[in-house]
Amino acid sequence: MSDDFETELAAAFEAEFDADAETVATAAENAAAFREDFDEDLAVEDVLDRAEGHNGDFEHRFDYAVGDLADGNDDCTDSREYRIAGYDPMAADPNQGF
């Protein structure tokens, strides 16, 4: 089931956004992992709608979409694992945001 979701999402990302195949594959894999871990009913259209609702390049759109999905899920308190950007060095900086 997740393989179909991942394959369908990768194809949709390629059709909708100007992103390279490696980035699209990573995004689809991460979205499928989020779906498996937190929202088994997550549909391809939901991910696409959220990504389309943001501006910027595909990577930023996808990362914001994952943040939106996590925000709507009480069980997911940290979406960085599922973002293309992943864990950045700033996340470990205790002075970040001050």
Other C-beta atoms closer than 10 Å to the C-beta of 23 total 16
Under DSSP, is residue 77 helix (H, G, I), strand (E, B) or coil?
coil
Asked whether the beta carbons of 39 and 73 are under 8 A apart, the reply is yes
Q: What is the pTM of this model?
A: 0.85
Residue-by-residue pLDDT tens, the chain, 98 positions: 457 999 999 999 999 998 899 999 999 999 999 999 999 999 999 999 999 999 999 999 999 999 999 999 999 989 999 999 887 665 555 555 55
Task: Give residues with Cβ within 8 angstroms of 77, minimum separation 6.
Answer: 70
DSSP code of residue 54: S
